[in-house]
């Protein structure tokens, strides 16, 4: 298997897309508890469109690829999810610039740019019961594990575990953004669908990364 930066970025994005499609019902059921229930459907339909256009995406560099992914996701995913998820890809792509060979530090910078962009676009932060409550801690754990000398596979597994624990922690939070915010205190005791989606994505990326690493050995 090709293990260039471009190939690995494509592997991660395709895994995100397939995870969204495969978990359409469960993500929608979570969102229906205090939201409008369209999260799973919107995410799945949008990423289906991305996979339909997969072969036409710009592959001149990882950054160019991610920015194109961001444009498609923004325009194809309905509701607020399109702009939020699309912004993440766009900001990551912008941070990558024209680099063709990404170091670990570059990837962390891209992920940080992604969640900072999501914060700005959604006017939200940690504690607002959004996907940020799983994404930010997971990125921090990924950076910590890599800085400690861990290999990418181990760091991803640890980040996935933190994402899962952080998503579970949204049960005790009051929703402050999105339709769930209208339920106020009633949102306590429910999981945030976006945070759970991030956790599932990290788990799947970790699993696929391990499989591809075994193939590269």
pLDDT digits (tens, 9 = 90+) for 2-14: 569 999 999 999 9
Confidence of residue 217 (pLDDT cuts 50, 70, 90): very low
One-character DSSP codes across 56-97:
GS--SSHHHHHHHHHHHHHHHS-TTHHHHHHHHHHHHHHHHT
Phi, then psi, of 159 in degrees rounded to 5: -65, -40
Domains defined for the chain, CATH in brackets:
5-212 (1.25.40.340)
Structure-block tokens of residue 58 = 């710009």
Round to whole Å and give the CA distance between 5 and 145: 20
Round to whole Å and give the CA distance between 76 and 41: 12
- Location of structure tokens 């194109």: 68
Structure-block tokens of residue 174 = 């009051």
Average pLDDT over residues 178-183: 51
- Which segment of 10-14, 150-154, 204-208 scores lowest on mean pLDDT? 150-154
pLDDT in the model for residue 215? 62
pLDDT in the model for residue 182? 43
Round to whole Å and give the CA distance between 34 and 181: 8
How do residues 69-112 score in pLDDT, each as one tens digit?
Answer: 999 999 988 788 899 999 999 999 999 999 999 999 999 999 99
How do residues 29-73 score in pLDDT, each as one tens digit?
Answer: 887 776 667 888 999 999 999 999 999 999 999 999 999 999 999
pTM of the model: 0.91
Evaluate if residue 115 carries a pLDDT over 90.
yes
């Amino acid at each position: 298997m090709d293990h260039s930066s471009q190939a690995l970025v494509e592997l991660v994005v395709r895994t995100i897309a397939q995870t969204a499609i495969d978990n359409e019902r469960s993500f929608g059921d979570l969102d229906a508890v205090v939201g409008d229930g369209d999260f799973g459907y919107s995410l799945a339909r949008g990423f289906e469109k991305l996979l339909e256009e997969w072969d036409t995406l710009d592959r001149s560099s990882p950054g160019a690829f991610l920015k194109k992914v961001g444009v498609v996701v923004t325009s194809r995913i309905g509701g607020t999810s399109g702009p939020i998820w699309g912004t993440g890809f766009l900001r990551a792509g912008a941070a990558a610039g024209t680099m063709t060979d990404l170091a670990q530090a570059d990837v962390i910078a891209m992920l940080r740019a992604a969640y900072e962009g999501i914060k700005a676009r959604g006017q939200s932060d940690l504690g607002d019961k959004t996907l940020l409550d799983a994404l930010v801690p997971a990125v921090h754990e990924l950076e910590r594990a890599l800085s400690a000398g861990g290999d990418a596979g181990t760091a991803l597994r640890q980040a996935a575990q933190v994402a899962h624990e952080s998503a579970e922690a949204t049960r005790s939070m009051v929703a402050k953004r999105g339709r769930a915010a209208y339920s106020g205190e009633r949102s306590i005791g429910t999981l945030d669908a976006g945070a759970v989606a991030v956790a599932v994505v990290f788990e799947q990326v970790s699993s696929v990364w391990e499989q591809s690493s075994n193939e590269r050995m």
